[in-house]
């Protein structure tokens, strides 16, 4: 069949002298497409060029499936980390290709994307998961624009997502967890609580990253599926070492190699470490938590002590401040100090005494900075003090 209807659009698709011609019909009807085919065949019979109509060889059309295969090999594998490559491959195989694989790349419209969202919702997927799928679809289509394969990208409207909830340990719970942990597991937990490192960063720490003289820990690497690479944000950050961590590392200090390794001196695998953490939680009488909960605990304790969100952002290595803002509600002390200014005697005497705004700010800053902020009062042996 040389004329056919595809996604409410009539196309002319035929071969002439071993060459394929495929064009959308200017008149979107069966009769119009047949008339258009007759016109094209007549031009070819006369030896006339069809340059007035786009030539498939000059501007080849891609199915979504064929483009995705090329995009994954050329773009994704070259520009993404192993974990991200794995995630995109899974999303494409399980979700995007089964739905959009039948489409031509330039035929995907906003309506098609809305219908995809409806299908995913009916399947019981969360809004966050669906948004992740849309993010990959959007990146794929924008790459097609960069490669001059399509001219426009349909609008992708993300679903509304409820604010993300996160778990963290109280100081008493953190102390109890450390009390029941032994050996390398105690050391890993303590390091996580005092640095806020991601688990992939913890297992990638090497002795070369520890500056005992300056009391600085350099965070520059992470493990992803057993492959050593850069951190999640591709940035190097520096974490001040507490005296507890400095004493801990001094206890089994080496010249080189990874700090935390298994009995065979190889990197620690995620599943095994998670099982051991759950076992320690059972011993401590705590709910099962993940290693990332210890990172949340680090940030939450800082926020509760009134440390600025920007300082927490730098310590955690977040790329965007909005990621760190989830901890902002845990710092009421800062707001309380701000409101308390209104009740201080100096504020009521501005109009009667020769007190300038700059002098007042200087006095308040000096008073505030003089207050010593203690973080996570847990000693190295794991008992609360």
Domains and CATH numbers, the chain: 3-45 (no CATH), 64-146 (1.10.150.130), 168-385 (1.10.443.10)
Give the model's confidence band at 346: pLDDT under 50 very low, under 70 low, under 90 confident, else very high.
Answer: low
The pair of structure tokens assigned to 7 is 């996604």
pLDDT score at 368:
42
The pair of structure tokens assigned to 173 is 């719970």
pLDDT, tens digit, 9 for 90 and up, residues 100-139: 998 999 899 999 999 999 999 999 999 999 999 999 999 9
Q: State the residue for tokens 């076992």.
A: 279
289 class by beta-carbon count within 10 Å (0-12 exposed, 13-18 middle, 19+ buried): buried
From CA 196, how far away is CA 300, in angstroms rounded?
A: 10
Contact in structure between 223 and 203 (CB atoms under 8 Å): yes
How far from 119 is each of 26, 53, 109, CA to CA, in Å? 32, 37, 16
From CA 285, how far away is CA 276, in angstroms rounded?
A: 14
pLDDT score at 60:
58
* Long-range contact set of residues 39-42: C-beta below 8 Å, sequence gap at least 24: 40/12, 40/14, 41/14, 41/16
The pair of structure tokens assigned to 209 is 């990253």
pLDDT score at 82:
85
From CA 33, how far away is CA 307, in angstroms rounded?
A: 69
In the DSSP assignment, the letter for residue 375 is: -
The strand ranges marked E within 161-260 are: 210-211, 216-219, 221-224, 227-230, 237-240
Q: State the residue for tokens 């002098």.
A: 359
Contact in structure between 100 and 112 (CB atoms under 8 Å): yes
Q: What is the mean pLDDT of residues 26-48?
A: 83
Q: Hey, which residues does 78 pair with through a beta bridge?
A: none
Contact in structure between 243 and 219 (CB atoms under 8 Å): no
Q: Hey, which residues does 12 pair with through a beta bridge?
A: 3, 23
pLDDT score at 19:
82
Determine how many CB atoms are found less than 10 A away from the CB of residue 111: 9
Q: Which residue has the higher pLDDT, 368 or 318?
A: 318
Cα 315–chain centre separation: 17
Contact in structure between 197 and 219 (CB atoms under 8 Å): yes
Residue 76 has pLDDT above 90, yes or no: yes
**From 41-45, 63-67, 93-97, 372-376, the region with the lowest mean pLDDT:** 372-376
Q: What is the mean pLDDT of residues 315-323?
A: 91
Determine how many CB atoms are found less than 10 A away from the CB of residue 82: 14
Residue 75 has pLDDT above 70, yes or no: yes
Q: What is the mean pLDDT of residues 133-150?
A: 94
Indicate the SS3 state at residue 238. strand
Q: What is the mean pLDDT of residues 17-25?
A: 82
From CA 374, how far away is CA 385, in angstroms rounded?
A: 12
Residue 238 has pLDDT above 60, yes or no: yes
Contact in structure between 271 and 291 (CB atoms under 8 Å): no
pLDDT score at 214:
93
Contact in structure between 245 and 236 (CB atoms under 8 Å): no
**CA triplet 126, 127, 129: central angle to 5 degrees?**
65
Give the model's confidence band at 367: pLDDT under 50 very low, under 70 low, under 90 confident, else very high.
Answer: very low
Mean pLDDT estimate for the chain: 84
pLDDT score at 328:
79
pLDDT above 90 as % of the chain: 53
Contact in structure between 112 and 99 (CB atoms under 8 Å): no
pLDDT above 70 as % of the chain: 84
């Amino acid at each position: 069949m040389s004329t056919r209807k595809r996604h409410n659009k009539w196309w002319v698709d035929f071969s002439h002298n071993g060459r394929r011609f495929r064009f959308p019909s200017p008149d979107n009807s069966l009769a119009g497409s047949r008339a258009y085919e007759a016109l094209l065949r007549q031009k070819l019979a006369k030896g006339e060029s069809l340059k007035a109509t786009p030539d498939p060889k000059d501007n080849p059309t891609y199915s979504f499936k064929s483009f995705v295969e090329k995009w994954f090999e050329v773009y994704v594998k070259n520009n993404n980390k192993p974990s991200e490559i794995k995630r995109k491959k899974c999303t494409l195989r399980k979700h995007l290709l089964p739905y959009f694989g039948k489409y031509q790349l330039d035929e995907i419209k906003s309506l098609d994307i809305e219908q995809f969202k409806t299908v995913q919702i009916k399947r019981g997927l969360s809004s966050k998961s669906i948004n992740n799928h849309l993010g990959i679809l959007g990146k794929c289509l924008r790459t097609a624009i960069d490669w001059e394969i399509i001219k426009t990208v349909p609008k992708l409207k993300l679903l509304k997502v409820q604010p993300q909830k996160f778990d963290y340990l109280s100081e008493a719970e953190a102390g109890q967890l450390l009390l029941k942990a032994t050996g390398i597991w105690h050391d890993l937990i303590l390091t996580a609580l005092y640095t806020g490192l991601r688990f992939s960063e913890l297992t990638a720490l090497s002795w070369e990253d520890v500056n005992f003289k300056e009391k600085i820990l350099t965070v520059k690497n992470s493990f992803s599926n057993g492959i050593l690479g850069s951190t999640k944000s591709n940035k190097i950050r520096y974490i001040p070492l507490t005296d507890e961590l400095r004493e801990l590392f001094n206890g089994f200090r080496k010249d080189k190699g990874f700090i935390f390794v298994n009995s065979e001196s190889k990197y620690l695998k995620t599943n095994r470490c998670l099982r051991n953490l759950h076992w320690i939680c059972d011993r401590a009488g705590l709910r099962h938590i993940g290693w990332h909960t210890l990172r949340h605990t680090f940030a939450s304790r800082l926020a509760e002590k009134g440390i600025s969100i920007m300082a927490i952002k730098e310590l955690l290595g977040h790329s965007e401040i909005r990621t760190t803002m989830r901890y902002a509600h845990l710092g009421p002390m800062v707001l309380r100090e701000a409101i308390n200014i209104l009740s201080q005697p100096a504020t009521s005497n501005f109009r009667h005494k020769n007190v300038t705004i700059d002098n007042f700010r200087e006095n308040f800053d000096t008073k505030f900075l003089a207050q010593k902020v203690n973080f996570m009062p847990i000693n190295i042996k794991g008992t609360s003090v």
